[in-house]
Chains A and B, each alone.
Chain A
Amino acid sequence: DGGITQSPKYLFRKEGQNVTLSCEQNLNHDAMYWYRQDPGQGLRLIYYSQIVNDFQKGDIAEGYSVSREKKESFPLTVTSAQKNPTAFYLCASSMIQDNQPQHFGDGTRLSIL
């Protein structure tokens, strides 16, 4: 089935540790996005990429890093510089032409140990 796969579903981070969240899509979408959602809040854009080997900061990029080496994959690293990483992380993808809607993976919940 075509779709977006995020892993793991749950992740625990120790103080000072970097962790990487995986996002893979087989929809042949050009653009991929990472959002953070805190309880009771809306989505905030962390990073996005519209083409391989290129990405842009969103509204809350500090403490995060990404790479886009393949069209299908857009991993997000939560670095130790992100002091409040506990949140629900959502990856999405879309075609760029004709302003198509974004489709989401089922998310990763990150907590601090």
Chain B
Amino acid sequence: RKEVEQDPGPFNVPEGATVAFNCTYSNSASQSFFWYRQDCRKEPKLLMSVYSSGNEDGRFTAQLNRASQYISLLIRDSKLSDSATYLCVVNTNAGKSTFGDGTTLTVKP
């Protein structure tokens, strides 16, 4: 079993839709959590950190459930420009980051 698992998708949604991605992690000692966005043939870019109380940045909402060991990313009112691969990242206390393989989103007109 992988340390960090994501549904690879692809998720194909119309513009304006709400879409949610989940990510599960196996190491209960994990300390911090992030979502990255990666466009085709580009480097991953930090989208947002995930805080215990949940956090929102515009149309994006991230949540953490430590008891069930998963994090989620909700995108509201999807735009064409949201099409990308979304990577979930989990850090342990040793400063090591483990990346999920990513979930691909395509937003269609």
The residues of A with any CB-CB pair to B shorter than 8 Å are: 31, 33, 35, 41-43, 48, 50, 88, 90, 94, 96, 98-99, 101-107
* B44 & A104 in contact (Cβ 8 Å cutoff): yes
Which B residues lie at the A interface, using CB under 8 A? 31-32, 34, 41-46, 49, 87, 89, 91, 93, 95-97, 99-102
Chain A proximity of B83: nearest CB distance (Å): 16
Given A42-B102, A99-B31: A104 and B97 interface contact (C-beta under 8 Å): no
Q: How far is the CB of A11 from chain B (nearest CB, A)?
A: 15
Asked if residues B43 and A105 are in contact (CB atoms below 8 Å), the reply is yes
* Cβ 8 A contact of A99, one of B41, B45, B46, B91: B91
Indicate if the CB atoms of A42 and B99 lie closer than 8 Å. yes
- B95 and A90 form a contact (CB under 8 A): no
Residue of B nearest to A33 (CB): B97
Residues of A within 8 A of B45 (CB): 104
* Contact among B41, B43, B49, B96 for A101, CB-based, below 8 A: B49
**CB contact between A96 and one of B41, B49, B95 (< 8 Å): that residue:** B95
Tell whether A107 pairs with B43 under 8 Å between CB atoms, given A42-B102, A96-B95, A99-B91.
yes
Query: Which of B46, B93, B95, B99 makes the CB contact (< 8 A) with A43?
Result: B99
B14 nearest CB across to chain A (Å): 24
A103 lies within 8 A of B95 (CB): no
Name B96's closest neighbour in chain A (CB-CB). A48
Given A90-B43, A101-B34, A107-B43, decide whether A42 and B95 contact each other with a Cβ distance below 8 A: no
Chain A residues with Cβ below 8 Å from B49 are 101
